[in-house]
Structure 1
Amino acid sequence: MTVDRVANALREEARATNERRLLVLAGEGEATRAAAVDALDAVDIESRDVTYLGESEGTPWERITLASAGDLLGTTHGALVVDCHEACRPNALGRAVGAVDGGGLLVLCVPSLDSWPDRRDGFDESLAVPPFDVADVAGNFRRRLVGLLRAHPGIAIVDVGDGTTEPTVERDGLTEPAPHRPVDPPAAPDDAAFPDSVYRRCRTDDQVTAVEALEALGEPGTALVVEADRGRGKSSAAGLAAGALALAGRDVLVTAPQYRGAAEVFARAREVLVDARALAGDPDESDPTLLETSQGRVRFEKPTTAAELPDGPDAVVVDEAAALPVGLLERFLDAPAAAFATTVHGYEGAGRGFSVRFRDRLEESDFDVTDVSMTDPIRYAAGDPVEVWAFRALLLDAGPAVDSLVEDTGRDSPSPDYRAFDAADLLADEHLLRETFGLLVAAHYRTEPSDLARLLDAPNVTVRALTHEGHVVSVALLAREGNLPADLRAHMYEGGRVRGNMIPDVLTSQLRDEDAGVPEGLRVLRIATHHAVRSRGLGSRLLAEVRSEFAEDVDWLGTGYGATPELLDFWRANGFSTVHLSTTRNDASGEYSAVMLAPTSDAGRDLADRHSRWFVDRVAAMLSDPLDDMDPDVVRAALRSVDGTTDLDLTEWEWRLLAGMTGGAGIFDTSPRPLRRLTVRYLTDAGGPTTGEDADGEPSEALLTPRQERLLVRKALQGHSWGAVAEELDFHSHGQCMRALGAATRPLLSRFGGSKTTQELERLK
């Protein structure tokens, strides 16, 4: 059987069932691409409806590079050719699968299946983190992928060799299902607020239900959560509703991790406005991120900007909400009305993590919350074999163990087991692999298919877990960093990038410490605890086990993450110390990042000590300039987490200034430095942030209240105006705010000033 006959048979079956089929062409690169041309020429798919995802420029179709696979989001194609010869990128593969229409073909051009797992490509090079090289990368992800290609229905495999011999058909991919039965188009609901023309654009009953629920965004106090697997039309439903709201004069603010993820929202909103002839200006020349009518509009902003609710929108639509962290999502609870559309299973984020971690905050808000679930596929029939294969191959639907299996962990049951998982363990037990990866997906907003390949193949990555009766309850993904040769350290120092060594890179290139890459460390890439057993100390237990196991093998443990007070307190409680705060917010998390170290050797202690010391010396200047908008509670927690403090180094005159502030805080404006240094000393002092000490050295009541600490951060460290500080901290007047700062200064002088300020304070009584 020739390639064109295999392709024709697949195409006929795909069209008859409104499903997709997958054609694997194995062999040399040029031969597989030529076979793909022959296959698609033979079927009834026009070239303009075919897109090539790969690096070769010699194909007749529109080309998108593998690195730009995100451009496929929101698009639909009759056929997609994915060329895996230069690199097999899991994220690109997932995006390609979702972009093929019902009745279409996904074509994979791959090396010989028997040799493919042992070849090394461009993606493997990204996993070869120095000091490892590409020869150290395993081929487990592709070995598993090949096995699933050979096992799943709806997948044809043809070996075309080097193109000089007759192709060999390993599988024809035919499933011989019953023909697809067309269904009647959905009808508009009775008494709908949106025009019938909006509902006529719905393609399933699910979509009608979602759009009808989204009508509630026209009234303040409403929030909706729309959950669906990919390809169910949730973004389209949001777009139709946004267009209808703009027709009614509403200002709709749309956000998503990237605009391309929200492109479908704007495409559907544009259709509504064009149908109604309401779109201002030339529809073909308008800004794709802004749709305006005479009274309403639909506009896009990136999440960190949108969270500020610029220009007071009437409603906010957050697409791919599960891809955003909880802290950023919470800021949208101040909107008049909001809709959160999220993918239940997918590489943008995990619906489970969204529902577990954010839904509590949403339910506690003042919103009247409505849930909408969409299950009917839009682009292809339910049960599509290509979707089933992709979900299993990329673990898109992986999740933690069922709650009932683990919920007794840490109570009356025996202590969970500490286990090391290597790739062989995970590949030998599909349930273990799914629970491990599923827990990482559920707990972290940026876990994606490429992380599955990294977990299975990267030479510097290892996995440790706690298990209860064989089920994963807590997991840590760990990466070795450092131990770099002199030439690589010099390369980093001079501005070059070295893959996978985040902490040495930051300490070397940004903080000018060329020796930071000498010690070897273990960075915690991800740590996650099953939601059913949180707050039982399991994450801390896992970190303690990791530290015990690796203490004699590495010089430090480290982590870097979007800083929140809760996370800073967690890492501090587990022996990690802040050594750096990023000076720009992460676009995805909306947070400033913290880098923390926990030394395990003398070399690690030297590294941590000098960076703690440098951090304390520079942090006041950072907080008064690039970090002047950092949450004061994050500042408090970050400084509290520093393993070290600073010499006050104040003159007698500066001590007198500080004493004078207790009676008139206006003195602060004449010389801010003394109070800034005193505040840093207080917040970084071992007992300062939470307790004082009595004459016997025993803990006493806290020196300052949290409100007083926030006042010191906002005014003394971040330099906000008296008016802004008074408003934020609910002081009745500027004067009251100034007097409060003076009152907060007095106990600090009693603790740190000693005899230097005693006489001055007596004079001011």
Structure 2
Amino acid sequence: MRHAGSDQLPDLAAWQRLQRSLATSGERRLVLLEGDRDAAVQWLAALLPGLAMTTGVWTGPAEDSPDHRLNQLVPSSARKWLGRELSVIAWDGWQGNPPDAFAALSGALTAGGLLFWLMPPLHQWRRFADPDYGRTGLDHDGGHPFAARMAGLVSDHPAVIRVFPDQTALPRLPVPALPETGFRVETTSDQQHLIGRLVRFGLGRRRRPVVVTADRGRGKSAALGIAAAKLLQQGRRNILVSAPAHHNVETLFRHARETLGDQLENESPGELTTRAGCCLKYLPIRDMLAAGPEAEVVMVDEAAAIPAPLLKAVLLGWPRVAFATTVHGYEGAGRGFAIRFRRVLDQWTPHWQALTLAQPVRWAEGDPLEALISELFMLAADEGEPTETSGPGEQLIIEPWQPARTTDTELSAAFGLLVDAHYRTSPADLRQWLDDPAAHSWRARIGDRTVGVLWCALEGGLAPALADQISLGTRRIRGHLLPQSLASHSGYPEAASLRCLRVVRIAVAADSRRLGIGHRLVEAARDVASHQGLDYLGTSFGGSTDLLAFWQGCGLQVVRTGLHQEASSGEYPLQMLLGLSSSGREMAGRIRSRLARHWLTLAPENWPELEPSLLAGITADLPPGPRPDSDDLRDLHHFANGHRGFRMTVPVLRQLSRVPGVMAWLLHQEPLALWCRAVLQGRSWQRIQAERLCLGQKDGEDGLRQLVRDLLENGPEL
């Protein structure tokens, strides 16, 4: 709806009526203030003091705030408001529009709420130099399809009120249809059902975990809090709660506190104690795992934002665990989380339960603003329904593809694949994909259905002087992730001077996997990169055994393992590449040879938590070392037959891991994890025993002796 604005005082009575009618109908609206920024701020300053406001925020400079009641908010801190409630948001788009923050903050707006967005006129959005672009390397002079797409969506959307503060005509505001019964924020039937299920789960049998998924604003955190309180009332003594950050559980604790009422004895930050001595306590996930306190029930909220290995440790560490996460979120996508974590649940707790919430709590069903935000940022991106085919064969087409020039239906299908494959995919990724001039993409389709996508970025080609500075650690530039990493961390400045094509994301539809589609996509990118004279094809990802095997199948080899676990996945970054030019192949060979020479020293010092199968896979991928000499062989025979101690033999055993064919043989042996933990990672026998890989030091050493005997008798020739 397009409405003219006024450079006179806003019609306060009309806006008050709008606010009341929105509150009654349970709806919210976006008010787009187009044009001169100063005029927009002045217009807001005239309007806001007359509007009802419980809690509001302003994202612009503090000195420009149009109302003293607004909380100053830096957009990068928007996630801190998740789980809270806002009646007014004044978003100063002239200061920058990070998509994740904008989408997240909109979810805090309650029924009757207004989201004021200060922006240039819509026709300027494609060329608008958004200050947030500099943070992500998108501050180029070209067009910005992501912003242009948003402009097209908001131009005539029923959730949008367009106001032009520097024009003269008075606005005409929409009047929502009022329901027979006014909207109220109260426990929905959906929530009541979930609370009942959670209580039964918390009082029920062990090893029956629950996974709760819901869209934003459905009240899952409130349901968790009410259920936790009811469990304490019904006899549970200790309930632990965890989440990515303490502010994520404020809603949970508020509803638990209200439910306990006068049964509450003590309250402190992150802890409630009842008169009966029962306790509900928040602990950060890593602190909880380190301390291992006793609890009959553990609840993990916003689980999609927590590394999967930590979630698995929680799952196996306590008898009753409930995980809850947002399905289409701004912290990460719950669908991708559910798909990936389902494998862990199926393997370790096959009787797990899946629960959902559909009814919104903070606003009425069908709220136009929720639909708009979902469209703008593709929060509900879907890969589409499978189609009947006779198999890929001749029907599979691999083609270059430009996501910025396709239809929204096709874009949603492709982005939906990325969401499902990478559970931290967010609206910011969509903007980067559409707007980055260095992006190159390919699509796999069967008929009209997209079954696979590959997103790459052109990197490197930096001036030698700059490459040297990056290698020294005195410079760091935006973008160029893989070349800069190899230059600065591996110590090869030529990696930044050479040109590469880096795979950013790859995804294949779940029903089309194991058909070679991913390999075909990578092959298409490799052929184009080679034809264009690029030096290498590379990728950087959170390491896992499956992904290592996939990229090895595409011809890529390991060149670097990161030293720090990724916050999003809990996995160590793994970087692999394939040399295309003679310079690229020569560089790859040098990096790999050097890494292999240092590997046995680096592994126990830097990767003590690396999964054994992945550690073994990387070791097997690296160039092999020398064969054992006669003295080493003698030590191995003596160790295998119990005449030589383990601690004195560790250097020989470690070197044995790099002998041609040995690690490939060990990969198929049952005691592989014992070998990796004790030999390659140097873990204490106490920790190895706690991991249930042996009964103690003697049992562990006996297992290694037997493994070496089998290797000497049945393994590769030494």
Structure-1-length-normalised TM-score: 0.85
* Partner SS state of residue 101, structure 1: strand
Separation of aligned partners in 2, 1:57 and 1:491: 40
Amino acid at match of 1:51: V
Aligned 8 A contact 2:58 2:92 in 1:
yes
Which of 560, 568, 573 is the matching residue for 1:593?
Answer: 573
Give the total of aligned pairs. 700
Residues 576 and 92 of structure 1, relative CA distance in 2, 3 Å threshold: same
Aligned 8 A contact 1:154 1:173 in 2:
no
Separation of aligned partners in 2, 1:463 and 1:526: 10
Aligned 8 A contact 1:127 1:137 in 2:
no
Amino acid at match of 1:63: Q
Separation of aligned partners in 1, 2:278 and 2:40: 51
Query: Partner of 1:182 in structure 2?
Result: 182
* Partner SS state of residue 563, structure 2: strand
Which of 261, 267, 272 is the matching residue for 1:291?
Answer: 272
* Partner SS state of residue 95, structure 1: helix
**Residue 505 of structure 1, CA deviation:** 2.5
**Residue 751 of structure 1, CA deviation:** 9.6
Separation of aligned partners in 1, 2:219 and 2:361: 6
Which of 130, 135, 138 is the matching residue for 1:121?
Answer: 130
Query: Partner of 2:151 in structure 1?
Result: 146
Separation of aligned partners in 1, 2:78 and 2:445: 37
Aligned 8 A contact 1:478 1:526 in 2:
yes
Question: Greater shift after overlay, 706-715 or 718-727?
Answer: 718-727
Aligned 8 A contact 1:145 1:393 in 2:
yes
Separation of aligned partners in 2, 1:369 and 1:399: 25
Residues 361 and 658 of structure 1, relative CA distance in 2, 3 Å threshold: closer
* Partner SS state of residue 557, structure 1: strand
Query: Partner of 2:294 in structure 1?
Result: 312
Query: Partner of 1:218 in structure 2?
Result: 203
**Residue 561 of structure 1, CA deviation:** 1.8
Query: Partner of 1:189 in structure 2?
Result: none
**Residue 230 of structure 1, CA deviation:** 0.6
**Residue 41 of structure 1, CA deviation:** 2.2
Query: Partner of 1:45 in structure 2?
Result: 53
**Residue 641 of structure 1, CA deviation:** 2.8
**2:716 is the counterpart of 1:710:** no
**2:360 is the counterpart of 1:397:** no
Residues 58 and 703 of structure 1, relative CA distance in 2, 3 Å threshold: closer
* Partner SS state of residue 357, structure 1: helix
Separation of aligned partners in 2, 1:372 and 1:743: 47
**2:594 is the counterpart of 1:631:** no
* Partner SS state of residue 160, structure 1: coil
Question: Greater shift after overlay, 740-749 or 377-386?
Answer: 740-749
1:333-732 equivalences under 5 Å are 333-334=315-316, 335-363=318-346, 365-366=348-349, 368-403=351-386, 405=387, 408=389, 410-411=391-392, 414-426=394-406, 429-492=407-470, 493-553=472-532, 554-642=534-622, 644-647=623-626, 653-664=631-642, 666-679=644-657, 681-682=658-659, 685=660, 687-690=661-664, 702=665, 705-722=668-685, 724-725=687-688, 728=691, 730-731=693-694
Question: Greater shift after overlay, 534-543 or 708-717?
Answer: 708-717
Separation of aligned partners in 1, 2:86 and 2:95: 23
* Partner SS state of residue 742, structure 1: helix
Separation of aligned partners in 2, 1:528 and 1:312: 40
Which of 61, 64, 73 is the matching residue for 1:58?
Answer: 64
Query: Partner of 2:253 in structure 1?
Result: 266
* Partner SS state of residue 613, structure 1: helix
**Residue 610 of structure 1, CA deviation:** 1.8
Query: Partner of 1:697 in structure 2?
Result: none
Separation of aligned partners in 1, 2:663 and 2:39: 68
Q: Deviations over 1:252-284 (max 9, x none)?
A: 2223333333332233233334x234242xx4x
**2:119 is the counterpart of 1:110:** yes
Structure-2-length-normalised TM-score: 0.90
Separation of aligned partners in 2, 1:559 and 1:477: 11
Aligned 8 A contact 1:245 1:296 in 2:
no
Amino acid at match of 2:363: Y
Aligned 8 A contact 2:58 2:73 in 1:
yes
* Partner SS state of residue 322, structure 2: strand
Separation of aligned partners in 2, 1:309 and 1:572: 39
Amino acid at match of 2:208: T
* Partner SS state of residue 30, structure 2: strand
Identity fraction in percent: 29
Aligned 8 A contact 2:210 2:353 in 1:
yes
Which of 27, 40, 44 is the matching residue for 1:36?
Answer: 44
Amino acid at match of 1:466: A
**Residue 17 of structure 1, CA deviation:** 1.3
1:177-256 equivalences under 5 Å are 177-179=177-179, 181-182=181-182, 203-215=187-199, 216-219=201-204, 220-247=206-233, 248-256=235-243
Amino acid at match of 1:356: I
Residues 57 and 578 of structure 1, relative CA distance in 2, 3 Å threshold: farther
Q: Deviations over 1:102-161 (max 9, x none)?
A: 0111100112222232121222223327xxxx2245311111111111121031111224
* Partner SS state of residue 174, structure 1: coil
Separation of aligned partners in 2, 1:160 and 1:532: 52
Query: Partner of 1:760 in structure 2?
Result: none
Query: Partner of 1:195 in structure 2?
Result: none
Residues 352 and 752 of structure 1, relative CA distance in 2, 3 Å threshold: closer
Residues 743 and 398 of structure 1, relative CA distance in 2, 3 Å threshold: same
